Amino acid sequence: MSNTLKHIGIIMDGNGRWAAKRKLPRSAGHRQGITTAKKIIKEAIRLNIPWLTLYVFSTENWKRTQEEVGFLMKLIITHMINEASFYKENRIRVRHTGNLKGLPDNVQFEINKSIQNTIDNDAITVNLAINYGGRDEIIRSINNWKKDTDNSNQNLTEDILKLYLDNADMPDPDLIIRSAGDQRSSNFLLWESAYSEYFFSDKLWPDFTEQDLRNTIANYENRSRKFGGLQ
């Protein structure tokens, strides 16, 4: 079975712990996490990876302190505005996955603007999972299907449900990387990751490097993917 990589998902964990180790505010870890994400995006382009999904803010992250959530919302807006040239220069197409309507209006506006401004870029598609939860995506997809009157007498199948996911044209992730040592999916791409390969790194996300990405891909390429069948 070919191990050609079309899509990598990354759970970027450990920003807060990185900052705490350095006696810095958690905000410093989140800022450094963006710097790391940009390096990894550029390396993914160099490696000809067509799709990259980054877990930016989950539906569960609203449980964090009001101060941290407010900072993260402002950081998303600032990133969308300040990185417009980064997207353009590197021909990055931006997508979003998650409950967009559940975000503040100004965050929604900047996400939509980045999507529209990068729609013709063709080096890589970076799918930003913001206000995202796998269970929430599945429920929203089913509810959207139910609203379609043409489906009133139709049984729901896997192929039909996929059409109602946030990005129906997105290939399922071949590989999901999680940093910072924890070994769980944390509600990330639950539907899409049914047959994804997982790699867990002990490194905190801000410390994750381009070489770490290459090493992870090399590990992936040596695995046997059977998709429930025989080799």
- Per residue in 93-121, is it b (16+ CB within 10 Å) or e — as a string? bbbbbbbbeebeeebbebbeebbeebeeb
- The residue annotated as part of the active site, out of 13, 136, 166, 212, is 13
Beta bridge partners, 93, equal 125
Catalytic residue among 3, 15, 48, 61: 61
Asked whether the beta carbons of 55 and 132 are under 8 A apart, the reply is yes
Catalytic: 13? yes
What does 92-159 look like in DSSP terms, one character per residue? EEEEEES-GGGS-HHHHHHHHHHHHHTTT--SEEEEEEEEE-HHHHHHHHHHHHHH-GGGTT----HH
Virtual CA dihedral for 58, 61, 66, 67, nearest 10 degrees?
A: -80
Whether residue 144 lies in the annotated active site: no
Supply the residues annotated as catalytic.
13, 61
